[in-house]
Structure 1
Amino acid sequence: MPTSFAQRKGRDGDAGVGRLSIRGPVTGGRGRPYSSSIVDLDEYGYCEAEYFVSGRAATFAPAPGTTLGVDGHWNVVATDGADFTTRILVRRPSAERFNGTVVVEFMQEYFGTERDTNFRWNAETLMREGFAWVGASLHHESVDATGGQEVEYQGMKLRPGPAMIEWDADRYARLRFPSSDLCYDVLSQIGRAVGPERDGAVDPLPGLEVHRVVAVGNTIAADRLQHYINGIHHRDSVFDGFLLQDVAESGVGLSGDVQSPAGLCLRTDINVPTIVLNTMTAAVQAVDQPEGPYLRFWEPAGSAHTTGAYMVRVAAATKRDLGVESPICPADYTNTFPLEYIAGAALVAVNRWAAEQHPAPSFARLVRTGQPPAASEEVDEHGNALGGLRSPWVDVPIARYDWRGECLGDAGRTYPFTADQLTGLYGEPANYHRAFEMQARGAQERGVLLAQDVQQAISIARKVTW
């Protein structure tokens, strides 16, 4: 049986991880899972299946005599338990294409609905590289909550939900996830159930020899993963790496009556490869904390929380699943910085680090003035951010990329340069094309971009003219 990075590093504690009962593949109801892939899986030879997972999970609290410190070095103990049944959504390649790594996504909860946010960012990289992907439903609000008060978001009044049991009562009638506080223990159980030591009667990854399991999550799910790393990972040693995108203080706690301190850091003694990819939306206001031997912070200059291309996927999925038209901005009006390239490179870097012990690169942090929540980025003569992870879009710019803006999803804005500005910078388009390609090749060498994304980026840049 393959040995995972987490197993090689050893356990800090002797806490056991509960075993799940797995049932599936699930069929019936509306004939497809909620949040089924909006990206074509057939093109990459992937298939999708859903499974119900049941068991008993604990919540966590600070160990007697301790508190949850800002430094993230938490000592926690298991407290009350509850029975649960939730689901996992599996997207997998053939055994011949599988690269040995399962990516477990802590699914994102948006106002009582669930989304495969990280998959939507990284679908092409995940499938091109041969990862298996498992989406874990870990929020009560999006699994089996009903009702709820209307909320206001960016000037719109939204009714929470529908949760899965409302969206498809026939398919999901048996789901029970009584509290989101169970998420940390259930995440460990799911990670173990799809990892190298999986031994259940029902195998959600038939024919795949798993070597590593990496956990990923965005925004609220990233905040939850931060809590998991700070308090539970060192007890359970289930995951071989982590990728967190846009960690922010969303108000989630370790449990209902155990809130997290303001200005929380990620513990720097994490013992498996971990990258925090914070767009400028999060990074400008983030706590200034150091890296660690297995911890990196990537802050791409020019990036925003979402992009126009990403919001197109969100809108398509929302219309398909909920029958609602999303009032998104035009894709070229929002921030067009191609964050998906950086996110894909970060995922591959975590996996390479875990598989080959090849550390991910460190990059400069954004140059900021002031302190959160009044901090702001410093900018160059073009209005683009200084410092941070550099890429050809800000080092050979044709626009100013802003993380602020009125567009849905915090999608920012792009302010294209005029023809006169471009002529002043580059003279003629051919000079821009050459400069962009040189910078893109250099970004590949630094680990900022993957080879296939470099080729695509260069092809797109060659179409720029004025």
Structure 2
Amino acid sequence: MTGNRKRRGDAGITVAFRAPKVAGPIVLLAAMAFASTAVAADTTASPAVVRPPAVGSAMSATAMPLSASGYEEHELFLKGQASRYRIADPMRDAEFVDAGSPYETRVLVRRPTNPKKFNGTVVVEWLNVTLDQDVDFVFGATRELLVRDGYAWIGVSAQRNGIDAMKKWNPERYETLAVDASNADPEGGELDPADPLIMAKGADVLAWDIFSQVGRLAATSSRDLLGGLQVRTVIAAAESQSTLKVSTYYNAIQPLHHVYDGYLFYDRTGTLRTDVDTKTIAVGTEIFTALMGYAPQPDTNHQRWWEINGASHFSLDEIKNYVDPFMKRDGAFRDPNGQALDLSERTAAAGACTPPTSYSRVPNGDIMKAALKSLNTWISGGTAPATAPRFVVDRQARPQYVRDANGHVLGGIKTAAVDAPISENSGIGSGPWFCGPSGYHVDFTPAQLCERYGDHGTYVERVKAIVDANVRDGVVLPEEAEKTIEEAEALNFSCGK
């Protein structure tokens, strides 16, 4: 039970305005300035939870066989009223503007069928909309841990891009959904800046309060939302485009309402305030540090930053084994003949990536699972997550990676995929559309493996040594280490004497 839980209980399930904690004269003056708006903000009621029309199926539903792990998935609509905020400076508390803007959105809920399996923690993911479709990249990366350890998960359609995609995909099912409101500031100008990746200016002015309301509803152990699971901890999560939104939420909204107990960021964030004491871990890959143009912040007593050597924006496992199947099923991407395309096929259709074998084999998900479990332990008063080595960056001009003689980035968390590789992996690819973020892998031939390792047994022993070190360092869990060793033992190559 965290300190934030008491504040949530005091406010019930309304989205209550809270002045920031007093940390000095400036913050005290800000709290006094906001005091006159508190009553208006408190009138925002929690959303009603309703079932969607029985027309078709849920877009972006998981293709993972949840029932085999004792889990179930539900699509639900949330209908309520949201407040608007002024975020003039994303590194300061937001200013309440007004309440009462109507919205209706959807959430996907995945939870244990048996309440006894629930571990008390709900992960609330702000769904990524860069691909003009809701995609649950955090769930995809951490899925084995979530069902193994009994987490519940909620995916939030907070942005208009995702809503518009659903309405286009199945108008009858999703016709009532709407999350937009006026972006006009009563004091002049606009309230909500453009999304830095999808450039949808003003489309998501209600998203901040929608995300608050979903988190608060989860924290109340809502029977309508979670079937009555008894919730202790609520963690916000996001990947890529969504991390930039949720890092703004962390900086500007979290200090007002203290909805979330922790934050899990997948592939970096914007700059985070260090005076917001909610525990956070951000996991980065090679591409996003390059795109952002700066290295992560220093670790603090409530923030951790991990970077994965050789990792692309999303790894081969989570795309091929998770995202591609549901995107192919939904068919939001299609070729000129109307045939459904998955993400890999859509990337290939945009033009030739160099090389054509997209996505690094470096297992982002293994690091993400360790990060989530460490964060959950940290929130509950346990040991803090490990500190991890950073990428080596040349800061003389625009930050650039320092690389070895083979062109590999120095530093970061190194897994067996990097230090006992079966392929050449890169976090950054070349070519149009998603070729760059996808990175690539080029598998070694059996002859190359023999030249590198001498024999299969030596290769396996090297993998064992690396994953054992990863486990000791706290960046890989024992279950993923065992799986990596099993995959190494199953790899079929033999070397002649």
TM-score by length of structure 1 reads 0.83
The equivalent of 1:128 in structure 2 is 148
SS of residue paired to 2:78: strand
Query: What's the offset of the Cα at 1:9?
Result: 8.8
Query: What's the offset of the Cα at 1:89?
Result: 1.1
CA distance in 1, matches of 2:383, 2:480: 21
SS of residue paired to 1:58: strand
Q: Choose which of 191, 200, 203 in structure 1 pairs with 2:224.
A: 203
Q: Check if 1:325 corresponds to 2:379.
A: no
Q: Which amino acid aligns with 1:77?
A: E
CA distance in 1, matches of 2:225, 2:486: 39
Q: Choose which of 93, 118, 130 in structure 1 pairs with 2:138.
A: 118
Q: Choose which of 259, 271, 275 in structure 2 pairs with 1:265.
A: 271
The equivalent of 2:462 in structure 1 is 435
Query: What's the offset of the Cα at 1:80?
Result: 4.1
Number of positions where the alignment pairs a residue of Structure 1 with one of Structure 2: 419
Q: Choose which of 4, 7, 19 in structure 2 pairs with 1:6.
A: 4
Comparing 416-425 with 96-105, greater Cα deviation is found at 416-425
Q: Deviations over 1:159-191 (max 9, x none)?
A: xxxx22222222222211114121111111110
Q: Check if 1:174 corresponds to 2:176.
A: yes
The equivalent of 1:85 in structure 2 is 104
Query: What's the offset of the Cα at 1:420?
Result: 6.5
Q: Choose which of 73, 94, 110 in structure 2 pairs with 1:76.
A: 94
Which structure has the larger Rg?
Answer: 2
Q: Deviations over 1:255-286 (max 9, x none)?
A: xxxxxxxxx51112331221111111112344
CA distance in 1, matches of 2:386, 2:370: 11
Residue 122 to residue 371, structure 1, CA distance change in 2 (3 Å): farther
Counterparts of residues 2-401 of structure 1 (less than 5 Å):
3-7=1-5, 12=20, 18-30=44-56, 32-62=57-87, 68=89, 72=91, 74-81=92-99, 82-93=101-112, 94-143=114-163, 145=164, 163-178=165-180, 179-195=203-219, 197-198=220-221, 203-247=224-268, 264-286=270-292, 287-288=294-295, 289-312=297-320, 313-322=322-331, 324-326=340-342, 327=345, 334-370=359-395, 374-401=398-425
**RMSD (Å), alpha carbons:** 2.6
SS of residue paired to 2:105: strand
Query: What's the offset of the Cα at 1:424?
Result: 5.4
Comparing 392-401 with 436-445, greater Cα deviation is found at 392-401
Q: Deviations over 1:103-154 (max 9, x none)?
A: 10101113432222221222212111110001111001221x4xxxxxxxxx
SS of residue paired to 2:138: helix
SS of residue paired to 2:205: helix
Q: Which amino acid aligns with 2:145?
A: T
Query: What's the offset of the Cα at 1:302?
Result: 1.0
CA distance in 1, matches of 2:265, 2:2: 20
SS of residue paired to 1:47: strand
CA distance in 2, matches of 1:315, 1:121: 13
Residue 378 to residue 318, structure 1, CA distance change in 2 (3 Å): same
Q: Which amino acid aligns with 1:386?
A: L
Percentage identity across paired residues of the two chains = 28
CA distance in 1, matches of 2:291, 2:396: 8
Q: Deviations over 1:396-435 (max 9, x none)?
A: 3344321122474622112445666655553322122112
Residue 371 to residue 57, structure 1, CA distance change in 2 (3 Å): farther
Residue 438 to residue 299, structure 1, CA distance change in 2 (3 Å): same
Query: What's the offset of the Cα at 1:205?
Result: 1.0
* 8 Å CA contact 2:124, 2:155 repeated in 1: yes
* 8 Å CA contact 1:269, 1:292 repeated in 2: no
Residue 24 to residue 8, structure 1, CA distance change in 2 (3 Å): closer
Query: What's the offset of the Cα at 1:391?
Result: 2.2
Q: Deviations over 1:429-461 (max 9, x none)?
A: 212211210211121121111111111100111
Q: Check if 1:426 corresponds to 2:453.
A: yes
CA distance in 2, matches of 1:92, 1:180: 28
* 8 Å CA contact 2:327, 2:341 repeated in 1: yes
TM-score by length of structure 2 reads 0.78
The equivalent of 1:155 in structure 2 is none
* 8 Å CA contact 1:20, 1:53 repeated in 2: no
* 8 Å CA contact 1:284, 1:366 repeated in 2: no
